Amino acid sequence: MVDYNFLPNLRTDTIDPAFRRYIGMTGYLVPPQTASTRIAATAAKLPKIERRLVDNGNFILIKRISKRFANTASKLYSMVEHHQKQLKRSVGKNELSPKQFQAFQHLAEDITTSVRKTRSLTADSLRRQLSLSPTHLVGYEDITLAIFISLNMEEEYLDYPTRYYEGINRTVAREALAVQAMLSLALKQAYYPVASAMSYDSAFLAGRIFAQYGIKRVAMGFGAYMADDNYRNVLYVRGQRIMLPQMMPNRYVRTAIVALGFWDGYRAHAGGVPTSFHFLGLGAPIMLPIVALCAYGTRDLSFDATSPILDAGEGFFYSDEPAYLKLRARKIAFALASGKQKSWNCPCGFCKQFIAKHPLNYEEAHKWFVLRKHSVVNASDLQPGGDLYTSLPLFSEPKNTTLRKAVTFARMGHNHWVLERIVYRLRDTGGSRSRLIKHLHDITNAYATHTESQVFAKSIGWVTDFVANKR
């Protein structure tokens, strides 16, 4: 049996009694930078059975350093984009001009220097983590590669040898063992140092090094991967160049091949796999089962992300039936008003509680459709004064009012509820490789049928087949 868990970020809304009533809580990811004294006190009183995985607080640091170099990186990447348009494919190794290559290298060295200056903060970070009563800890991390990715800097644009990527993870592994020596026995056994990678090959190296140092509990940041809006049709696996059938979203391809590479590297050295792994910043519904297959053999997998909260604020509802999707509230509203979708029958407690207080009036919404004959729902239709504002309140866009807070809470809770169902279904595979592969193919086939993006559908299909063939 494999234990899969999604850990909500500890925030005011996620410790609300209503949230905890409708979500089968297994624990929280506690971000030190947002944990106020009151929230931290609440966290300390949570049942001991729940995980309190305290993050290392590096997310804010990554954003701060990335912002410092963003302007320079943007100018450099615009040259890459121009080159890619000429090639009609992604730029491969040794395909930038010497001048471009040198500019990227100088930027990388400046970033590396900036990161090195922050390493003295580790002791302070650990003290802050321990003050939040953790049961589990996200450990030492080198944030250099996460910053590279956030600034659109790929391995292909840099002149770093293999030993550079090995060195980053070797330093993390050594520091992690030194920190563990200072922890209580319980936290030593629940300490997750953070591996770093940008590709299959660098992830393979990371996995091999963590195995060499006997580190059995590992975390890795996937937030930068999933925030990447770029596309590629070339990747490298053990030095072999692989041409993809079309330009595919980096976020899907990299997330899968990095996870695959880490487990392959770990297994290559240890003959086995990590006992526990935490995917930092990974909450995309379709990606959870894909990386679960990449991580086959590990018995404890956990995930966290702020995306179900942020997406709720931006008007997205997660779906697991009939497919793992992110649905725009405006499109749901149009489907309800037009009659294409008869009703919103979500069984989650968040939607049911909201609708009990703010009923949906399908008849009034349909009158709007008949009279206006619109082909889409616009923001103005769902905002105060709009024709659908009062008839479809769950999908409305209130201003800063009590209703706005209630709408956002319902959507945020709904999104976490969907993620909870997704991890429950992963548990139902029982750790069986064949059942997990079948489950994944069922999910990705449904995704291909229902997503509006054929590029996304083909990309997810390719990624699924690639991972399944490797596993």
Q: Which helix (H) or strand (E) holds 67?
A: helix 58-87
- 373 dihedral zone (left: phi>0; alpha: psi -120 to 50; beta): left
Residue type, 6: F
Q: Is 3 exposed, middle or buried (0-12, 13-18, 19+ CB in 10 A)?
A: middle
Q: Which two tokens stand for residue 321?
A: 């039936």
How far apart are the C-alpha atoms of 176 and 217, rounded to whole Å? 11
Q: What local confidence, expressed as pLDDT, does residue 180 receive?
A: 94
State the DSSP string of 293-321: HHTTT-SEEEE--SHHHHHHHTTEEEE-S
How far apart are the C-alpha atoms of 168 and 174, rounded to whole Å? 10
Is the backbone peptide bond immediately before 322 cis, with ω within 30 degrees of 0?
yes
Q: Is 201 exposed, middle or buried (0-12, 13-18, 19+ CB in 10 A)?
A: buried
- pLDDT tens across 271-284, in order? 999 999 999 999 99
| Sheet hosting strand 191-192, strand order edge to edge | 27-30, 51-54, 136-138, 191-192
Mean pLDDT by 10 residues, the chain (471 residues): 94 92 93 73 78 92 96 95 85 84 96 88 79 92 97 93 96 95 95 98 98 98 96 92 94 98 98 98 98 98 97 97 97 96 97 98 95 86 95 95 96 98 96 95 97 96 96 91
Q: Which residue has the tokens 């053999």?
A: 297
C-beta of residue 139 within 8 angstroms of C-beta of residue 278? no
Residue type, 358: H
Pairing of strands 240-249, 231-237: antiparallel
Half-sphere exposure in the Cβ direction for 454 (13 Å, CA)? 1
How far apart are the C-alpha atoms of 414 and 437, rounded to whole Å? 27
Strand partners for 91: none
Q: Where are the domains of the chain?
A: 55-305+446-470, 319-417
Q: What local confidence, expressed as pLDDT, does residue 123 receive?
A: 66
Q: What local confidence, expressed as pLDDT, does residue 92 receive?
A: 77
Q: What local confidence, expressed as pLDDT, does residue 427 receive?
A: 96
How far apart are the C-alpha atoms of 245 and 325, rounded to whole Å? 23
pTM for the structure as a whole: 0.96
Q: Over the Cα atoms of the chain, what is R_g?
A: 23
- pLDDT tens across 307-345, in order? 999 999 999 999 999 999 999 999 999 999 999 999 999
- 359 dihedral zone (left: phi>0; alpha: psi -120 to 50; beta): beta
Q: Is 363 exposed, middle or buried (0-12, 13-18, 19+ CB in 10 A)?
A: exposed
Q: What local confidence, expressed as pLDDT, does residue 34 receive?
A: 66
Q: What local confidence, expressed as pLDDT, does residue 51 receive?
A: 92
Q: What local confidence, expressed as pLDDT, does residue 368 receive?
A: 93
Q: Where are the beta strands (DSSP E) in 125-263?
A: 136-138, 191-192, 194-195, 217-221, 231-237, 240-249
- 102 dihedral zone (left: phi>0; alpha: psi -120 to 50; beta): alpha
Q: Which helix (H) or strand (E) holds 280?
A: strand 276-280
C-beta of residue 91 within 8 angstroms of C-beta of residue 82? no
| Residue 135: DSSP 8-state | S
Q: Which helix (H) or strand (E) holds 30?
A: strand 27-30
Q: What local confidence, expressed as pLDDT, does residue 128 receive?
A: 86
Pairing of strands 27-30, 51-54: parallel
C-beta of residue 290 within 8 angstroms of C-beta of residue 467? yes
Q: How far is CA 142 from the centre of its chain?
A: 18
CB atoms within 10 A of CB 36: 10
3-state percent breakdown (helix, strand, coil) of the chain, nearest 5 = 55, 15, 30
Q: What local confidence, expressed as pLDDT, does residue 321 receive?
A: 95
C-beta of residue 318 within 8 angstroms of C-beta of residue 351? no
Q: Which helix (H) or strand (E) holds 338?
A: helix 329-338
Which of 69, 32, 52 has its CA nearest to residue 150? 69
Q: What local confidence, expressed as pLDDT, does residue 96 receive?
A: 86
How far apart are the C-alpha atoms of 63 and 471, rounded to whole Å? 35
Q: Which two tokens stand for residue 27?
A: 């624990």
